[in-house]
Chains A and B, each alone.
Chain A
Amino acid sequence: MKLIKIKRKKDLQYPQILQLDDDFSLIQRFIEGDESTFKTLVQRHKDKIRNIIYLTLNSSDAVDDIAQDVLITIYKHLKSFRFESQFSTWLYRITVNKCKDHLRKVRIRSIFGPMNDGDEEPVYIPSTEHKDISEIVNKAISKLPEKLRLPLLLKDIEGLSYQEIADAVGCEIGTVKSRIFRAREGLREFLKPYEQELMA
């Protein structure tokens, strides 16, 4: 019962705010001194931010830390927002950059840190073991290069447009189109051994 009540309360809040206050007007109010609007922006975009980070890192470990870092950065610089692009575009760009920073640090740490054999696990998964399909696909996705994987997931999971993906990762829209196709082709190749099971 309690869960239902909470759901209803949420349902009452969000649609009204979304209808009445777009991102720009909230940011404008924030710039004018009403810092409470930042909370609304956080509530509106936090899930998207967390998911992008999760998809980019392919792990949930550091998601909240990076998401907080992203939002604090947004809070610090929100007063200098120039209203030249969508707020979400700016937000996704910052999120992707923070993820790239994080991955860079992890890579540097892995160079100087102890060897982890788990990272070099082969893609091939024996069919005899009856692995869960989702697990197999996930494993295959994780083996895609970052520059292919991210556009694919942003499109298929987060539902971003090609333009939004291009803005977020900082490339041309044609490149996004090509990368998503190549990601699917790569995925198909990885999943070839399970073709019959998957296509069933």
Chain B
Amino acid sequence: MEKDLIYQKLSAYLDGELTPEEKNKLEGEIALSPDLQKKLGELKKLKQLTVSSVKPLPDSPYFETRLFASLQEHKTSFFTIKKLSPVVGLLALTVLIMIFLKYNPQVIEHLVEQQKSNLAGFYKQNLKPLLYAANLTNEDVFNFAFNRQLPLDKTNSQYLQLGYDTTGNGFFEIKTGNVASNMNNLDKFIRALNLNSQQKEKVDSILQNYAEDLQSQVLVNDKNTVAINPNIWNYNKAILADIIAFANDANEKEFTKIVPAGLPSYDKNSIVKVINDVKRTRDNQYIFFTPDTIFSENYEFDKHKFTNEMKKMKEEMKKASYEWKKYAVNLQLDSSIVKLKHDPSWGKNFNVQFDANTCRVNLPNIIPEIELPDFDSITVQIERAVDIVKQVKVNIPNITFNIPEGSHGKNEFHFKMNIPGHTDKGTEINVNLDSILRQNKYFIQKFSGPGRKGQINVDSLLTSIRSMIPDSMSYFQGNEFKGQMKEFQKEMKKFQQQMKEMEKELKNNKKELKEKKDPIEI
């Protein structure tokens, strides 16, 4: 072992790996030992053999070229990863957002609500009461109470129908067709109760009051949006209750005849409370029908501001009355709305049904809750009564007459009406035919050309005239008014005859002048 250690030192000495001290010491030992000298010689020879025997490695001329090509490839793949890093980052972000939203679903709900509000904001601009534009009469309000129908657009015969489905949930429909307002139900109701003039005025004032309130229940704008306040159902019940309570007080005997089964027992004060509650309820949750969607949203309609605006507008409207049609809405049920039927989120608030002429929206939980007495049983009775009244139909004949040529601007007629039950009050009405004709677009189109001769549908004329007559008196549209119209026709004929006579006189005068001139010339 000792020998091996000395030989190891010899090997290290040969390799120059000994410290100077070790080297000096070993050299001393080598000088004295022939064995070490021999071993050192062996090791030297082996080292020489090793160095000389190992073949040198051949050069690789393309080593660097290959290396840097590989490095470039590596860099490219590195940069590809770098390029992909935004995508990877985006993916990571998406996953993070998904995880975040999974545990915080209210955030996305809030965002959706915000977007809805933006869309709602667009459709909520410039909303005006449609019923004002629809020229709502007391007859319409009366029919609304009993038939739950409100005309939306009289020109295009669209109306709003309220109702309850078999499960008792409220719905409303926008229907195309004629409302029952032509049935003169209010007149028949008044006559059936045999009301005096004061009572009639009271009915008128009740209905007029509700007509104003109903204005803010249905709003429209120029973006073809219809906004309906679900509180309209409660108004329907309130009007009904008000009318029934009034009728019962006014003439209980006659009212019992109309409603043979009589009214179910009710507390008058509770009805008054209900009416006040309905009027006081400021439910700003409207249902918006738009060309894109149907949604429910809060909307504050400033009735007073609108009333002030309307006063100003009224003055302007006198100059161009048919501008009102700007607010007339003809709701087109296009395919985009139909598509929304498949949106499951609708099921939460609405159930919408479509057909060619109707758009029906069921609203399970949207009607503001007010405790009401059992009006439904009353309504059944009243509806029966109204059906009885409906059986007596009054058909207004289509009267045709000729408009005298050259009479434009001078057509003022004076009517004196003798109204049964109003014998003490002779009602006088001045009808300015020019102003009525100007309001009638049909007439303007028909008669603006040369030779103003033709027919006019008296129904449209009557509607215009009716607006000048108090509603309680409007039943004179029937036989009484027919008589008045005959008088009017007679006067027109007289006027024509006078004109003809005047023409003849003029011709005669010309002849006379000619006859007188001749002798002078001779």
Q: Which residues of A contact B (CB under 8 A)?
A: 39, 42-43, 46, 50-51, 54-55, 60, 63-64, 67-68, 71-72, 75-76, 133-138, 141, 152-153, 155-157, 161-162, 177-178, 180-181, 184-185, 187-188, 191, 198-199
Q: Report the nearest A residue to B73, measured CB to CB.
A: A72
Instruction: Give Cα distance in the complex from A75 to B63, angstroms.
Output: 16
Contact with A along B62-81 (1 / 0, CB 8 A): 01101110110010000000
Most buried by B among A46, A152, A177: A177
Among the listed stretches B10-18, B113-121, B126-134, which one makes contact with chain A, having 4 or more residues with CB under 8 Å of it?
Answer: B10-18
Q: From residue B489, how far is it (CB to closest CB) to chain A in Å?
A: 106
Q: Which residues of A contact B7 (CB under 8 A)?
A: 181, 185
Q: Which residues of A contact B53 (CB under 8 A)?
A: 133-138, 141
Contact (A64, B50) CB under 8 Å given A162-B12, A162-B17, A177-B8: no
Q: From residue A76, how far is it (CB to closest CB) to chain B in Å?
A: 8
Are the CB atoms of B70 and A72 closer together than 8 Å?
yes
Are the CB atoms of A177 and B11 closer together than 8 Å?
yes
Instruction: Give Cα distance in the complex from A96 to B57, angstroms.
Output: 17
Are the CB atoms of B67 and A188 closer together than 8 Å?
no
Q: Which residues of A contact B66 (CB under 8 A)?
A: 64, 68
Instruction: Give Cα distance in the complex from A50 to B62, angstroms.
Output: 13
Are the CB atoms of A134 and B52 closer together than 8 Å?
yes
Sort A-B residue pairs by CB-CB distance and give the 8 closest, nearest first.
A137-B53, A181-B11, A134-B53, A181-B8, A54-B57, A156-B50, A137-B49, A162-B17
Are the CB atoms of A43 and B64 closer together than 8 Å?
yes
Are the CB atoms of B45 and A199 closer together than 8 Å?
yes
Main SS of chain B's interface residues?
helix
Q: Report the nearest B residue to A199, measured CB to CB.
A: B45
Are the CB atoms of B64 and A64 closer together than 8 Å?
no
Q: How many residues of B contact A (CB 8 A)?
A: 30
Q: From residue A15, how far is it (CB to closest CB) to chain B in Å?
A: 19
Q: Show 11 A/B contacts (Cβ-Cβ < 8 Å), sorted by A.
A: A60-B57, A64-B66, A68-B63, A71-B67, A75-B74, A134-B52, A134-B53, A135-B53, A137-B52, A187-B49, A198-B49
Contact (A184, B54) CB under 8 Å given A64-B66, A155-B15, A161-B17: no
Are the CB atoms of B17 and A137 closer together than 8 Å?
no
Q: Which residues of A contact B71 (CB under 8 A)?
A: 72, 75
Instruction: Give Cα distance in the complex from A67 to B67, angstroms.
Output: 9
Q: Which residues of B contact A184 (CB under 8 A)?
A: 11, 43, 46-47
Instruction: Give Cα distance in the complex from A50 to B74, angstroms.
Output: 21
Q: Report the nearest B residue to A60, measured CB to CB.
A: B57
Instruction: Give Cα distance in the complex from A187 to B49, angstroms.
Output: 10
